[in-house]
Structure 1
């Protein structure tokens, strides 16, 4: 049975096809045909932050560029971070001054390039010793301020010293005996998955072809180009793509993609990072908190209606692919957080848990993943093919620039990178659109807070979503089961943001799947039917999508009964075998 015309109508009537920055599924067949018919300048493999950044960098230099991603945009590392843009205060102790300075520069720059996605956030560093620690940490933050050039137009403030009383005023949820005072400083916050989607759309605006659910199965180096054997995972069709140059930005999969060329020249070690999601009503924080733990760093990060509690930093030996948290990970994070909280959190307070892999450059002399440098490496692993690995979300643009600089050597008349001055989709006119949010809310019949959330998610493009409600006001209502996601956003994600599955919508285009007590399961059928109408799918497809999402949520919940990563293997195999695709 097909989705009815009535269910299709809101989508068909609302949004025009063919916008230059739209990742439109109806363009997909044409894009695939064009890919097989010529010789690209640059092929980027991997659709995370670095891959999307590399596609944008290459395309904005005037190079014919394509990005291929086997899953969804940001479906690996780049949707499972702490969502911070920061220099890394703890890297100062490791004498990584260059890394910190570079990251702080990029933090401020990205606030210019994507002001809708980046917000300044105040951090509290609690002190447990009265004299030496205040001096030691204060000296480090003085250097942090100096490396950032605080006092510039980006609005990040110099660090401040807080007494015990001032700390409790800032964060009354803390135990009175947990600290003797604190230092406060500023860093940046960003929704990592939405940043990647925005980068990919900006790359498309600059002329790049961006295709998801296309897996590269083999790479063969020729004298003057590389041949990629690819598979369209939606249809099973195999085809080849030829490119003069190739950038491998495949994160934890970098070892596997290098092996396609015969050898792994840059070793990769994966570190698992786990975060808990707690309602902000349960843990009322206006400032983030950072503290040391025995094995990593504790973050309590307020974002929207929730607080993120993270993170772990443990070796992941199972290999690239799906990754799950264990019950031991949850207990560890709760124990670390509760050392600071007057009202301890329990497992019942946890709305969601997510885990991701950090792809670190292997350093055999470092036994612990926490000791491995976050510097990135760019290396030519075959003629005309470079791999880029390591780094951090904050420095994605530098990593992308370095990779493209390296791979295009030898090509004639290649222009320098311009991404330092290239605003991302949604940034142009954002200040004016933000100033109009009150009148936009009145016209749409929405609370101002709802329009502000749309503005921070879509930037100056948010009026396009409100326009959908003029013909069908129901599209400006929340999807049943998730108060933070409007029906119009599902349609917009399908037309403009390459969303093809329920998981794409609930875990990456929005975070509703992590911010509701049932993991978004009750919203899944509604999202699936909206997607089916948008993508021309059947009711049975919608039912399968909802079922796949529900099953994945059940597997994740089952993982929380385990105590070690080794116990996750059968659950990971289940997830890998039941890929929630759009076919």
Structure 2
């Protein structure tokens, strides 16, 4: 790619990076993305797995952030109905903490700020009802409200997949090393970029603008760029979660208040578990080596014991994970009060082309962040320099077989055109369900492949939506899907993940493309590694040490 010049080089394969790549590629820009590890290998796979407005941010008066997040909640439900699911949350009232009137007022605002359409309104509930029996005695009143759950790492992968199908070049396991300014014809400046693959090979390309969406590494990447700007650094905050044996029956979750003002979620997870989190801890060190601390485990267990009848102890933790949030530093004294809003800083000078730095953000608002990023960047891109790219990229979505055909019509595209914002209504891969009705889709899914166990059918339908057709195809029996590795994972699915979703290691398959690592035995994982190594070389057999150390 040494002679190729892209409009945007995006550094970082988390949710913000792939969201910008998807939006830009769909508008007709020529895009390349480099990620030093796997997609969603860091912060974007370490969230609480929620698409939500952020109820607690209302008490910090972040009304704009909450409103935007609530609007996005409705939008994402529409474009990814297979991946994003409504969920009811129960918020018990605890005397001595937030008063009932304050909670009721907050929920009233929460119901009305974002133009709620698909989810039910909040209401008061009696905790003593049978369905809330696992809560301890003394909790009598509470409130119910609605938000959504999501598989965060799959949301990242689907955005990257859509970007690639619209013409973006996605380079995983490729580390950004340096960038220098190059002056070409007519005095036009561009970035000459050097990257390095996991095998030590060099990747060189040129870019008219760079987007630094490196998450916790945003400041480190910025130091490798010859730019001058006002000093704005990311404030790194660690958030950790634990997985316990299931604490309660039902599909609802709990939002639990703590005396320190923080809240913790308890969420049904992967059928057999309850996900509990998150913490807020200042972080210093290498974001690639982040893990939960003993104090955090004790904090989360104490929260559980404050509300539930059955005690939880550190020895009960089946799995844990931690991530580092690169928040925009607003100098708040309490890390829990640091804004979750995003900040975009565009740097441009006579000495260098544009660089956009991305700070903060929530997984819920990634799509709006991408729109805001392109609103800043597009006016800075030389129209003459990018002539022809829209025509080059437009057919990508059509040739990939997407039902919506992509946002740009190749037959009417003029040289140099850039399309308008489009991602609010275009389904993510697999999300083009008839009428957006997942229940009807699941019913048809099970009728088409009746040999799939119920749990496996549910997992595949939620994870892949209509794209499950690619690897299930005309199969009429389990044998036709190839070798079974356990927990419903077959050779057909693994081959699909390698060919289409950048899966290279067993961790990619078992902990990011799915959570089947919770169920496979060590021998089954070894067998999967053998098959992946044969299919894609020895690198596919490796395990990420930072992940494997915390697994059950």
TM-score, with length taken from structure 1: 0.81
Number of the residue aligned with 1:23 = none
SS state at 1:358 partner: strand
DSSP-derived class of the 1:101 partner: helix
CA distance, structure 1, for counterparts of residue 54 and residue 87 of structure 2:
14
Describe how 1:170-569 pairs up with structure 2 within 5 A.
Answer: 170-177=131-138, 179-222=139-182, 224-233=189-198, 235-262=199-226, 265-280=231-246, 282-293=247-258, 294=260, 296-305=262-271, 306-364=273-331, 366-382=332-348, 383-411=353-381, 412=383, 413-429=417-433, 431=436, 435=440, 437-438=442-443, 440-441=445-446, 443-467=449-473, 469-470=475-476, 473=479, 475=481, 479-480=485-486, 483=487, 485-513=489-517, 515-516=518-519, 521-535=522-536, 537=537, 545=542, 548=543, 555-556=549-550
Distance verdict in 2 for CA 1:512–1:347, change over 3 Å: farther
CA distance, structure 1, for counterparts of residue 96 and residue 120 of structure 2: 24
Select 2:123's aligned residue among 144, 160, 169. Answer: 160
8 Å contact kept, 1:247–1:404: no
* Structure 1 Cα separation of the partners of residues 491 and 131 of structure 2: 37
Cα drift, residue 440 of structure 1: 4.4
Following superposition, the deviation at residue 244 of structure 1 comes to 0.7
How many angstroms apart in 2 are the aligned matches of 1:63 and 1:439? 38
Contact 2:268/2:275 (CA < 8 Å) preserved in 1? yes
CA distance change for structure 1 residues 349 and 523 in 2, over 3 Å: closer, same or farther?
farther
Q: Is the 8 A contact 2:446 2:457 kept in 1?
A: yes
Q: 1:369-389: per-residue Cα shift (whole Å, max 9, x none)?
A: 111111111111343111111
For the residue of structure 2 that corresponds to 1:526, the secondary structure is helix
- Asked if the contact 2:345–2:358 (Cα under 8 Å) also holds between the matched residues in 1, the reply is yes
Structure 1 pair 274–219 and aligned structure 2 pair: CA distance change class (3 A): same
Contact kept, 8 Å, 2:319 with 2:550, in 1: the verdict is: no
Cα distance change, pair 415–321 in 1 and its aligned pair in 2 (3 A): same
Q: Is the 8 A contact 2:288 2:546 kept in 1?
A: no
Offset, 1:466 = 2.3
3-state SS in 2 of match to 1:225: strand
Say which SS state the counterpart of residue 277 (structure 1) adopts.
Answer: strand
Once the two structures are superposed, residues 372-417 of structure 1 have per-residue CA deviations (whole angstroms, 9 ceiling, x without a partner) of: 1111111113431111111110000111111122122233253322
Equivalent position of 2:393 in the other structure: none
Worse-matched range after superposition: 124-133 or 316-325: 124-133
Q: In 1, distance between residues paired with 2:463 and 2:51? A: 16
Q: State how far apart, in whole Å, the 1-side matches of 2:108 and 2:482 are.
A: 47
Distance 2:95 2:341 in 1: 32
Aligned length: 503
State the superposition RMSD in angstroms: 2.4
Judging changes above 3 Å, is the alpha-carbon distance between structure 1 residues 432 and 145 closer, same or farther for their aligned structure 2 residues? closer
Question: What's the offset of the Cα at 1:478?
Answer: 5.1
| Residue 409 of structure 2: aligned partner | none
CA shift digits 1:115-170 (9 cap, x unpaired): 111100100110023998222100110011110223x2x2x11101012323xx33
Give yes or no for contact 1:130–1:180 (8 Å, CA) kept in 2: no
Query: Conserved in 1, the CA contact under 8 Å of 2:79 and 2:432?
Result: no
Q: Show the 5 A alignment for 1:12-51.
A: 35-51=1-17
- Cα distance change, pair 231–419 in 1 and its aligned pair in 2 (3 A): same
Structure 2: which 5+ residue stretches go unaligned?
A: 184-188, 384-416
1:77 aligns with 2:43: yes
1:56 counterpart residue number: 22
CA distance in 1, matches of 2:145, 2:248: 21
**Cα 1:392–1:474 shift into 2, 3 Å:** same
User: Could you give the per-residue CA deviations for residues 90-136 of structure 1, whole angstroms, max 9, x where no partner exists?
Assistant: 10000000000000000100011111111001001100239982221
What secondary structure is seen at the aligned counterpart in 2 of 1:523?
helix
Gap runs ≥5 in structure 1 = 1-34, 559-583
2:106 maps to what in 1? Answer: 140
Offset of 1:332 from its aligned partner? 1.4
Native 8 Å contact 2:81 2:433 kept in 1: no
Q: For residue 91 of structure 1, what is the aligned residue in structure 2?
A: 57
1:438·1:448 contact (CA, 8 Å) conserved in 2?
no
SS at match of 2:459: helix
State the secondary structure of the residue aligned to 1:245: strand
- Distance in 2, matches of 1:250 and 1:227, equals 18
| TM-aligned CA distance change 1:43 to 1:304, over 3 Å | same
TM-score by length of 2: 0.85
Deviation at 1:348, TM superposition (A): 3.5
2:330 and 2:504 map into 1 onto residues whose CA distance is 38
Matched residues in 2 for 1:164 and 1:221: separation?
63
Distance in structure 2 (CA, Å) of the matches to 1:266 and 1:129? 41
| SS of aligned partner of 2:204 | strand
Q: Distance in 1 between matches of 2:152 and 2:278?
A: 16
Say whether the 8 Å CA contact 1:495–1:534 is kept in structure 2: no
